[in-house]
Structure 1
Amino acid sequence: MKLSEIKKQLGTADNVAFVLPNGSYVPEHFHVTEVGLITKNFIDCGGKVRKETVVNFQLWDANDFEHRLKPQKLLDIIALSEKVLGIEDYEVEVEYQDETIGKYDLGFNGQEFTLLNKQTACLAQDQCGIPAEKQKIKLSEIPTQSSSCTPGGGCC
């Protein structure tokens, strides 16, 4: 989800909630402790230089049980970050510490923001010998010839 989409959703939201991939919620008294711009420069396994830039939100579950982040407050934090850090309309990733610090993609289900598991992948499959996935077919779908074989019939 891009930053512009988050701002659009916050503009009409009554509250801010984040749902984890397992269906549980980030506690409603969470804080957004960082909004940042992260640029990753790297080389993939095929030797191609790549660059990825994302906006990062860090969520923190404090013992401040009366705290509730309102949509306008998060919009204000985003606006300040855009101004000070020069943030543009990049994809947003979210950091949240559950058992360990996890990084998530962000979605929206119509009412709440959803934290989506990120996946790793090879970016240069054609360079590092990963075979293309074979087409899977059921044996029952393979056309069959008659079960009897006759001389000269070409079945053996």
Structure 2
Amino acid sequence: MKLSEIKTILPALESVAFQTPDGSFVPEHFHVTEVGNIQKHFIDCGGVIRKETVVNFQLWNANDFEHRLKPRKLLRIIQLSEEKLGITDNEIEVEYQGETICKYGLEFNGKHFVLTPKTTACLAEDACGIPLKTDNQTEKTTGCTPGGGCC
């Protein structure tokens, strides 16, 4: 989801809720402790220099159980970040505490926001020896079975 999308959605909501990939919800008393612009400038394993920019939201649970972030307040935080930090319309990445700080994509299901899993990937598969799959290529099975001696 891009920043422009959340800005369009928020005015129509009565409350702000985030659902985690396991189906549970971020507790209602969460805070958005950061809205930022994260720029990543890197080189992939194939030697290609790349740049990536995302808008970052950090969600945090405090011990003030009466706190409730209203859509209008979140919209104001976003607008302030645009004014003060020059944040532009990029994809949103959400940080939320799991075993460590977890990063998620963001979607909206018509009722609430959904944190979507992000994964790592090789950006230069053709340069580092990973066979590329084609649409008509099917995975081959080896026919190996436990104890069969082929593995």
CA drift at 1:33: 0.4
- TM-superposed CA distance for 1:132, in Å, is 2.0
Percentage of identical aligned residues: 70
CA positional deviation for 1:23: 0.3
**1:24 counterpart residue number:** 24
Where does structure 2 lack aligned partners over 5 or more consecutive residues? 141-151
| Structure label with greater radius of gyration | 1
1:66-92 Cα offsets, whole Å, 9 max, x none, are 000000000000000000000010100
Distance in 2 (alpha carbons) for counterparts of 1:108 and 1:38:
22
SS of residue paired to 1:83:
helix
Distance 1:16 1:114 in 2: 11
1:55 aligns to what SS in structure 2? Answer: strand
Superposition RMSD in Å: 1.5
Aligned residue pairs total: 139
What's the secondary structure of 1:103's corresponding residue?
A: strand
Q: CA deviation at 1:137?
A: 7.2
Counterpart code for 2:41: N
Q: CA deviation at 1:94?
A: 0.3
TM norm structure 2: 0.88
What CA distance in whole angstroms lies between the structure 2 residues aligned with 1:74 and 1:2?
15
Alpha carbons of 1:118 and 1:137: their partners in 2 closer, same or farther (altered >3 Å)?
A: closer
| Residue 14 (structure 1) aligns with | 14
Query: Unaligned stretches of 5+ in structure 1?
Result: 139-156
State how far apart, in whole Å, the 2-side matches of 1:133 and 1:81 are: 42
1:14-55: CA deviations, max 9, x gaps? 110000000000000000000000000000010000000000
Q: Which residue of 2 aligns with 1:3?
A: 3
Deviations 1:81-114 (A, max 9, x none): 0000000101000000122210000011111100
Within 1, Cα distance between the matches of 2:62 and 2:98? 12
Q: What's the TM-score, normalizing by structure 1?
A: 0.85
| Aligned amino acid, residue 130 of structure 2 | I
Residue 51 of structure 1 aligns with which residue? 51
The separation in 1 between residues aligned to 2:139 and 2:23, in whole angstroms, is 34
Structure 1 runs of 4+ with >3 Å offset: none
State whether structure 2 residue 117 is matched by structure 1 residue 117: yes
Q: Deviations over 1:98-137 (max 9, x none)?
A: 2221000001111110000001111111111101237227
Distance 1:65 1:77 in 2: 21
